[in-house]
A and B are shown apart, each in its own frame.
Chain A
Amino acid sequence: MAKIVGGICTTHVPYIGRAIAKNLQQDPYWKPFFDGFPPIHAWLDQVKPDVAVVVYNDHGLNFFLDKMPTFSIGAAPEYHHADEGWGIPTTGSFMGDQDLSWHMIDSLIEDEFDLTTCQEMLVDHAFTIPIDLLLPNRQAGSIRTVPVCQNTVQFPLPSAKRCLAFGRAIRKAIESWDSDARVVVLGTGGLSHQLDGERAGFINKKFDLEFMDKLVSEPDWVSQYSIPDIVELTGTQGVELLNWVTCRGVLGDKVKIVHSNYHIPISNTAAGTLAMESI
């Protein structure tokens, strides 16, 4: 059966794509953020994942507001990035893993997660940037991927409790896949930030750090908060932490930290990174 090697949660600010393209990793503004990655690169070299299941949210590339699935999954042979309108570089394509995609679809729908299946799917910066951060220099082209997209754009959003349960169902799906593949799970976005309104620029370091701590030791802790609570505590886009919650659900009851990093600001965002291994 397939093995889940661990999970990595990290921010996906669009401008990171530009910083990667311009090799600004050692630039004083970017260094405190990029310095969070070499220990995770070393860990990835050891655990050698074959497939990445990427939990993220689309920002108006694949999904417009005409059709907005709460949970959707890619089932394509490959995935392409495209022009997102705000001037970030377009990356190369990513391999899919249709066997895992369809196994997850079968298992998740049997478990009553009735997600939308996508045999063609554009992937935006929330998918491409974390993979390029974790597998630099286009090693990203060598790992197979399954995109899992959660709606964090148009409310109502799925609750933290639901996302955690979704993650646990994804774990069950991956662990029942008849394959010797090694699977890493990514959860992208957050942490606290707000782009819109008079409260633009809102950041909540205290809550972010508590969230990161509890995500490791007590993942159900976040379920006490409603979606409006999370917006109030982390900002209108901080609510992307739901992708971290789903990722954590995939990792099972107990995890240990591989590496963590937290830096303010990258663009308007508190940039968190947290790599975990199941124990």
Chain B
Amino acid sequence: MASKTKRVIPGTTIFDGDMARKGYALNKMCYSFNSEENRQEFLADPAAYCDKFALNDEQKKAVLSLQVLDMLAAGGNAYFIAKLGGIYKLDMQDVGAQQTGVTKEEFMAKLVEAGRN
């Protein structure tokens, strides 16, 4: 395989071929959440639903603990993880706050501040 030099952008993962391969099972499970029937099946037994899609241990642990950064590290794509977040009624400010280690109010204040600069 040809060696690849990847661009490093702090705090940012480029969802490239390596991540798409790594996260395929996790993203496929999250894609299934476009159906209400599947969302309910997941909620009834999250661990069993992860097993049905053959998530590896890292992915399953990240999903069951709802840790977004861990899901990303396990190959999750932001848009598909958001479908899992939707099941728990988490919006993008909840998810942003969790990833950046601040409260939701602090995260929202930071967004407003970005408009003033």
Contact = CB atoms under 8 A, between A and B. Distances in A.
Interface in A28-70: 59-61, 64-66
A229 to B, nearest CB: 8
Contacts of B52: none
Chain B interface, >50% SS class: helix
A263 B91 contact: no
A199 interface: yes
A2 interface: no
Contacts of A197: 11-13, 69, 72, 99
Interface residues of A, number: 41
Contacts of B35: 83
A87 B82 CA distance: 10
A82 B100 CA distance: 32
B92 to A, nearest CB: 5
Interface stretch (A97-105, A139-147, A168-176, A231-239): A231-239
Interface residues of B, number: 50
Contacts of A201: 96, 100, 107, 110-111, 114
A85 B39 contact: yes
Contacts of B69: 197-198
A199 B9 contact: yes
A195 B92 contact: yes
A200 interface: yes
B79 A153 contact: yes
Given A198-B100, A205-B117, A236-B78, A60 B86 contact: no
B62 interface: no
A181 interface: no
The 8 closest A-B pairs by CB, nearest first: A264-B115, A199-B11, A85-B83, A198-B11, A86-B86, A196-B78, A203-B114, A265-B111
7 contacts: A87-B89, A154-B16, A195-B78, A195-B82, A196-B68, A265-B115, A267-B93
Interface of A: 15, 59-61, 64-66, 82-87, 153-156, 194-203, 205-206, 228, 231-232, 235-237, 263-265, 267-268, 270
